[in-house]
Amino acid sequence: MQFIVQPSKLRDATVSVPGDKSVSHRALMLGSIAQGSTRISGFLAGEDCQGTLAAMRSLGVRIEQPAATEISINGVGLHGLVEAESELDLGNSGTAIRLLAGLLSGQAFVSALTGDASLTGRPMQRVIAPLQQMGARIDSHDGKPPLTIHGRSPLRCIDYAMPLASAQVKSAVLLAGLYAAGQTNITEPAATRDHTERMLRSMGARVAAAGGRISIDGGQELTGCHIQVPADLSSAAFIMLAALLAEKADILIRNVGVNPTRTGIIDIWQAMGADISLENPRSLGEEPVADVRVRSSKLQGGRVDPALVSLAIDEFPVLFVAAAAASGKTVFSGIGELRVKESDRIATMATGLRALGIDVEESEDGAVVHGGRFTGGSVDSHGDHRVAMSLAVAATVAEGPVTINDVAAVNTSFPGFDECLRALQAEIRVVDDVAT
């Protein structure tokens, strides 16, 4: 599948983007092991979360999906999961495989987890190490999937100082901690998204968090509830940048999750001169939401604060595009984690931007992007959904048409991305490879 994007004149619009991916995965997992029923509204019906849904069904949970974004789960309780008959295929999703590794480490059965070509190349030692300390035995292929998890019940509680800032690792240990005898403590080197902690609390669990240290007591039963998933700020970010780069546009994106552990992108863009405001702030359960208004702005480059990296971790591809369109140069540092995302995002974005005439210097854990004009051309997403969408946004302000190849992965996180851009009047066409 390809996107073909023409230089576009965007107009004012009010739009919605799909539900938050991180919250949707967690709602499925926690709803499954809660007692009683859990309803999820605003669920992200993208391929990643559908994969988690299928996995939870394979583990014996009755889950209905009466509409694409509505889910109803018959929770089986903390100890109600059963061994799956076959391997669980988590597709492209790092969140699914790492969080499930935690959850399944505490079960008295064996589980096999795998994924697609991208996922089977991603590092899992970061979850294997703490989960093995807790007593699970995990076989991998040199620290990469497929994983075979020999669970243990109960697990041992641990005090774990995470060597890297990762919400996925933190969440895997917290889920395992529910199945440990005693209190599990985790210290994080920098704040990461805290959706797991918030959702555990909304299901009645006690989770303490202060000064970068999170504690959970094992054996706590969760109570099913109604989870309303906010729109995903990480998806909204593409629409926000399209609006910022447009000649004159005023865009409102409704009901977006603005959890402070996710809003690094807003801080970074505002520091670059972006006109972004949060309107009508409110809460959906434990999660803060707002309508996000974005007006076209002149962006200036600068040094991106490395302290914001973990709070904007998925937004660097789109941020590279912002830097390329800004005046002057933008310096990124402390972003080595991007090399082990769905693709090596420093390399894939540098390659994509260079193909559109932008000067990018790369280092092992950083990059310098020199602002310029995008030429037309042909670029590749390398199968990475966020790279595909970032380059499509760049294309709306390019000097000629841009073809973005290999964009099917966009459906993992943002089904309807092209329609959403068209609502702003962007000229984007989706072309099926078979038809070309």
Per CB under 6 A, 192 contacts ligand S3P:
yes
User: Among candidates 27, 22, 38, 64, which has minimal Cα distance to 223?
Assistant: 38
Measured CA to CA, the distance from residue 345 to residue 27 in angstroms comes to 28
- Per the CB < 8 A criterion, the answer to whether 413 and 44 are in contact is yes
* Residue 385 CA: distances (Å) to CA of 174, 201, 318, 344: 28, 31, 11, 12
Distance CA 275, CA 278 (A): 10
Among 97, 101, 103, 167, binds ligand S3P (CB under 6 A): 167
Cα–chain center distance at 264: 14
How many whole angstroms separate alpha carbon 357 and alpha carbon 160? 45
Q: Residues 66 to 95: which contact ligand S3P by CB under 6 A?
A: 95
365 catalytic residue (yes or no): no
Q: Which stretch binds ligand S3P (CB under 6 A): 164-172, 173-181, 369-377, 424-432?
A: 164-172
φ, ψ of residue 335 to 5 degrees: the values are -115, 30
Binding status of residue 313 toward ligand S3P by CB under 6 A: yes
User: Which residue stretch of 73-81, 165-173, 208-216, 242-250 sits at the interface with ligand S3P (rule: CB under 6 A)?
Assistant: 165-173
Q: How far is the CB of 156 from ligand S3P (least distance, A)?
A: 24
Q: Which residue has the tokens 């973005």?
A: 404
Cα–Cα distance measured from residue 113 to residue 359, given in angstroms and rounded to the nearest whole number: 40
Q: Which of 314, 344, 380, 418 is catalytic?
A: 314
CB of 381 to ligand S3P, least distance (A): 16
Residue 314 or 344 with smaller CB distance to ligand S3P: 314
Is 343 a binding residue for ligand S3P by CB under 6 A? The answer is no
Q: How many residues bind ligand S3P (CB under 6 A)?
A: 11
Query: Does 168 sit near ligand S3P (CB under 6 A)?
Result: yes
What's the min distance (Å) between Cβ of 16 and ligand S3P?
Answer: 21
- Residue from 2, 16, 22, 184 touching ligand S3P (CB under 6 A): that is 22
SS3 263: coil
- Residues sharing a CB contact under 8 Å with residue 286, sequence separation 6 or more, in sequence order: 198, 199, 201, 202
Task: Please give the single-letter amino acid code of residue 283.
Answer: S
Identity of the residue, 175 or 324, whose beta carbon is nearer to ligand S3P in the bound complex:
175
Q: Name the residue nearer to ligand S3P (CB basis): 22 or 348.
A: 22
Which CB sits closer to ligand S3P, 16 or 234? Answer: 234
- Closest distance between ligand S3P and the C-beta of residue 258, in Å? 16
By CB under 6 A, residue 198 contacts ligand S3P: no
Counting contacts by CB under 6 A, is residue 171 touching ligand S3P? yes
The least CB distance from residue 321 to ligand S3P, in Å, is 18
Find the part of the chain contacting ligand S3P (CB under 6 A) among 166-174, 183-191, 327-335, 389-397.
166-174
**Shortest Å distance, C-beta 229 to ligand S3P:** 13
Q: Which of 152/193 has CB closer to ligand S3P?
A: 193
Q: Please give the full DSSP string across 134-183, using - where no structure is assigned.
A: TT-EEEEETTEEEEEEE--SSEEP-EEE-SS--HHHHHHHHHHHTTEESE
Q: Which of 188, 314, 380, 384 binds ligand S3P (CB under 6 A)?
A: 314
CB of 175 or CB of 249, closer to ligand S3P: 175
In angstroms, the CA 266 to CA 276 distance is 7
Residue 207 CB, nearest approach to ligand S3P (Å) = 15
Give residue number: closest CB to ligand S3P.
Answer: 22
DSSP for 236-255 reads: HHHHHHHHHHSSS-EEEEEE
In sequence order, the 6+-apart residues with CB closer than 8 A to the CB of 234 are 20, 21, 262, 314, 315, 386, 413
Among the residue ranges 10-18, 167-175, 326-334, 351-359, the one whose residues contact ligand S3P (CB under 6 A): 167-175
Which residues have CB under 8 Å from 363's CB, separation 6+?
Answer: none
The set of catalytic residues is 314
Q: Which residues bind ligand S3P (CB under 6 A)?
A: 22, 95, 166-168, 171, 192-193, 313-314, 337
